[in-house]
């Protein structure tokens, strides 16, 4: 078991004096969203921590201390004392896990099947570096037609994955909650962010792009948007999806952010447009205002 006193002393040094909650839980002021109440809770017996306002979370006390720039000596003391109860590990197993037959390309052979999958990805604009960066792989089954694209959260914990069969073109999502921020490990929350529909759209944009795996903002993403320092959000959905674009813009304006309308051709998305040309559209995009929303809603009521 962890030495809870050492963990608590380290947390108190960087987060201030805690308020004791039930069992081994302690509550602190959150350094990420800076809520006026102590909403960041840490379970010293399992290492799990979570802010109930901005939803920033992790699995170890050390990961929290890293985020608040704890000194090397303090981190080392905590590392030496971390040994959590089985409750934490059962929680991890119930969380997202990759299929046993998943093989990342960086560990694959040079077979015909692997090269066929790579050829498909290269034709979609990806590079060898992208395969390594995103840990893209495939399912080692009888057909070897299925790509697997994992996603990791800000603590580099697996939070979701997407599979695509290149023979049928069908995507399949695992039986896990989609209430995740896809590719969060690559997101800088104090820079401009591009919102896209799918993972290949995000690959085309290359940096600071979040695929929605659809056309709506999930609750976790909404909460993170609110707490972020990012101000400009570029909405790069299919040019014909105006209702979805304006719905997202309406939410962004309501929380004090600036939505930008990326005016893509109808039937086109960042993936089909390509890596070079999509940035021409991004540079030409314009901010959306409450007046734009009003005019759109009025137009649709009249029609």
| Cβ pair 266, 239 in contact under 8 A | yes
The answer to whether residues 302 and 237 belong to one domain is yes
**DSSP state letters, 155-184:** TS-EEEEEEEETTT--EE--SS---S-TTG
How would you list the strands of the sheet with 232-235, edge to edge?
Answer: 209-211, 193-196, 232-235, 258-261, 286-287
Could you say which of 48, 78, 94 is where a domain stops? 94
CATH code assigned at 12: 3.90.580.10
Please name which of 217, 214, 220, 262 lies closest in space to residue 242, comparing C-alpha atoms.
262
| Cβ pair 299, 271 in contact under 8 A | no
- If you count them, how many residues does the chain have? 303
The answer to whether residues 115 and 214 belong to one domain is no
The answer to whether residues 206 and 289 belong to one domain is yes
Question: Measured between alpha carbons, how far is 274 from 114 in angstroms, rounded to an integer?
Answer: 24
CATH code assigned at 271: 3.40.1360.10
| Cβ pair 117, 147 in contact under 8 A | yes
Q: What is the pLDDT along the chain (303 residues), one digit of tens a residue?
A: 567 889 999 999 999 999 987 667 899 999 999 988 999 999 888 888 888 888 788 878 988 998 898 888 888 888 888 776 544 433 333 467 888 899 999 998 889 999 999 999 999 999 999 999 999 999 998 888 999 999 999 888 899 999 999 999 999 888 788 899 999 999 999 999 999 999 999 999 989 999 999 999 999 999 999 999 999 999 999 877 888 999 999 999 999 999 999 999 998 999 999 999 999 999 999 999 888 888 877 766 654
* Residue span of the structural domain in which 68 resides: 4-94
Question: Measured between alpha carbons, how far is 213 from 52 in angstroms, rounded to an integer?
Answer: 24
Tell me the sheet residues that pair with 146. Answer: 165
The answer to whether residues 207 and 294 belong to one domain is yes
Q: Half-sphere exposure of 303 toward its Cβ, with a 13 Å CA cutoff?
A: 6
The answer to whether residues 219 and 291 belong to one domain is yes
Number of domains in the chain: 3
The answer to whether residues 215 and 241 belong to one domain is yes
The answer to whether residues 215 and 196 belong to one domain is yes
Could you say which of 63, 94, 125 is where a domain stops? 94
């Amino acid at each position: 078991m962890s030495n809870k006193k050492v963990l608590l002393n380290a947390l108190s040094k960087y987060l201030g004096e805690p308020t004791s909650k039930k069992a081994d839980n302690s509550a602190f002021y959150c350094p990420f969203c800076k809520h006026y109440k102590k909403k960041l809770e840490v379970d010293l017996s399992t290492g799990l921590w979570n802010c109930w306002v901005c939803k920033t979370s992790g699995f170890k006390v050390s990961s929290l201390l890293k985020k608040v720039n704890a000194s090397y000596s303090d981190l080392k003391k905590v590392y030496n004392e971390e040994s959590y109860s089985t409750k934490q590990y059962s929680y991890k197993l119930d969380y997202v896990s990759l299929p046993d037959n998943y093989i990342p390309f960086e560990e694959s052979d040079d077979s015909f099947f692997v090269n066929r999958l790579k050829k498909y990805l290269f034709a979609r604009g990806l590079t060898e570096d992208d395969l390594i960066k995103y840990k893209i792989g495939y399912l080692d089954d009888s057909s070897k037609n299925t790509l697997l694209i994992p996603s990791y959260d800000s603590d580099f914990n697996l939070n979701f994955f997407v599979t695509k069969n290149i023979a049928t073109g069908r995507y399949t999502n695992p039986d896990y909650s989609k209430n995740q921020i896809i590719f969060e490990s690559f997101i800088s929350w104090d820079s401009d962010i591009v919102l896209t529909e799918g993972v290949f759209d995000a690959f085309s944009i290359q940096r600071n792009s979040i695929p929605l795996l659809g056309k709506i903002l999930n609750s976790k993403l909404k909460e993170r948007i609110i707490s972020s320092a990012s101000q400009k959000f570029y909405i790069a959905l299919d040019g014909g999806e105006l209702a979805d674009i304006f719905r997202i813009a309406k939410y962004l304006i309501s929380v004090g952010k600036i939505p930008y309308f990326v005016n893509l051709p109808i039937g086109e998305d960042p993936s089909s447009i390509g890596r070079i040309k999509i940035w021409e559209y991004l540079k030409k995009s314009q901010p959306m205002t409450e007046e734009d929303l009003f005019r759109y809603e009025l137009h649709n009521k009249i029609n």
